[in-house]
A and B are shown apart, each in its own frame.
Chain A
């Protein structure tokens, strides 16, 4: 029996997720700019300084901003417990992450060791602070959460990602000896993309599908099992590097196969939704799942790392979170206004529907721009001279449209908030 719950004073203000998401969209714009400016260099190799800058603009600039911002807002909704001193803590995390990512990307851009070191320390620190804050909030809530294991393991995977990243940065500065750098990069990438982004992203979608689309639920036990298995395989893959056991490298294709299997489960879950309407957020999710399949096919084909990177980073890691944002932001706007209305003693006076904040038409336009940009990037990975600059231009345009949609949602929210204040 429970009669306690979250008080409105504890709920994070809506400006917090908006701040993280708006920043994320600006980093996507930066990715487009780098593609335009360095079109002839980015697609030379995945080791080129510009490719490294882009990778970190996507993973830290976009993904880390979106994932921390979303978790800060969703923790009270999913677990009934916000992070401590939510406004101050989230402000510090946001600024450290923002500054750290900028410095790190600039460091790669100019091959400047000091900038890389400072950027890695700042962004790594931001993530560690976020993890500590989430731990405190979960302990304070005092409940066992269905999704704690899969989310927890997913977020813990960022610790080896950051640790190996910083180790490599120290290695670049000559402070420690790094043996086989390309293989260590592969271990760093695997923990980051598969361990952290992959599992947190899939856990989030598994969690949100039954809530927002009324689909069959995938049991928390089976979710936890797959995530734990992925973590175990990642540990084996790391041992392959540290102990030089080549046979353990088989772990990586098994992890990819597991993600494909999870994609199939997600696809099945989406099919089980009660209302068979296809809204644009589903298009983002389906395209993300299709990109994962394309990435796996490109990886099996094996002669174009950049193509795999485009499908994974752009196709999966950016497309799916955008779909989630378009589903979550309108609900948050509605909920915060409803709370305000109740505080004013009014209950059922009608608020605008969720479509008011981000319309289907606007989200669909962004979807078309975004997917075309990803396809052009894939073409650029094969024929850089023809498509690199064009893909950058379209990517910048798509990110500006994303920024516009988020800003409009915020402005419409503010206008509605003002109208409620006047009516009082």
Chain B
């Protein structure tokens, strides 16, 4: 199931705090869809350390990041997301 988070209007470091909080309770079959105003490069190192996989793309001037547990099928393969 998709969990959604919109951090476009938040000042640093709140976007990263919100994303980490959401990931901490993310069920293993779910994924998080984040709407961001820019590509959050510093977040990626944390995601790797937390054993998550991610997919980033730009759509309509905003950055969409899909994050899911490493080892689980990516949302688009599972036919559930994107």
Contacts and interface: CB of A to CB of B under 8 A. Distances in A.
Contacts of A342: 20, 46, 49-50
Given A5-B48, A347-B23, A348-B17, 20 more contacts: A2-B39, A3-B55, A3-B56, A5-B43, A5-B44, A5-B54, A7-B45, A7-B48, A8-B49, A79-B41, A211-B12, A212-B12, A213-B11, A274-B9, A331-B12, A334-B13, A335-B16, A339-B49, A347-B50, A354-B13
A1 B55 contact: yes
A214 B38 CA distance: 11
Interface string A1-19: 1111111101100000000
Category for how many chain B residues contact A: 20 to 34
A210 B11 contact: no
Nearest to B53: A3
A107 interface: no
Interface of A: 1-8, 10-11, 76-80, 210-214, 274-275, 331, 334-335, 338-339, 342-343, 347-348, 354
B11 A212 contact: yes
A6 B41 CA distance: 7
11 contacts: A1-B55, A3-B53, A5-B47, A5-B54, A6-B41, A77-B41, A339-B46, A342-B20, A347-B21, A347-B23, A347-B24
B70 to A, nearest CB: 11
A11 B24 contact: no
Nearest to B23: A347
Contact of B49 (A76, A210, A211, A343): A343
B13 to A, nearest CB: 5
A79 B39 CA distance: 9
Contacts of B46: 8, 338-339, 342
Contacts of B12: 211-212, 331
B66 to A, nearest CB: 10
B34 to A, nearest CB: 14
A253 B55 CA distance: 48
A211 B9 contact: no
Given A5-B41, A80-B41, A335-B42, A275 B48 contact: no
Given A1-B57, A335-B13, A6 B23 contact: no
A211 B39 CA distance: 11
A2 B42 contact: no
Contacts of B10: 214
A5 B11 contact: no
A2 B45 contact: no
Of listed A1, A3, A80, residue having the most chain B CB within 10 A: A3
A214 B11 contact: yes
* The 8 nearest A-B residue pairs measured at CB: A5-B44, A8-B45, A80-B41, A347-B24, A2-B56, A348-B21, A342-B46, A342-B49
A214 B9 contact: yes
Contacts of B57: 1-2
Contacts of A347: 20-21, 23-24, 50
B56 A331 contact: no
A343 B12 CA distance: 21
Nearest to B50: A342
Contacts of B37: 210, 214
A72 B38 CA distance: 20
Contacts of A1: 55-57
A3 B20 contact: no
Nearest to A350: B17
Of listed A77, A80, A347, residue having the most chain B CB within 10 A: A347
B20 A11 contact: no
A149 B41 CA distance: 20
A2 B63 CA distance: 11
Given A2-B56, A8-B49, A342-B50, A211 B38 contact: yes
Contact of A76 (B13, B16, B41, B53): B41
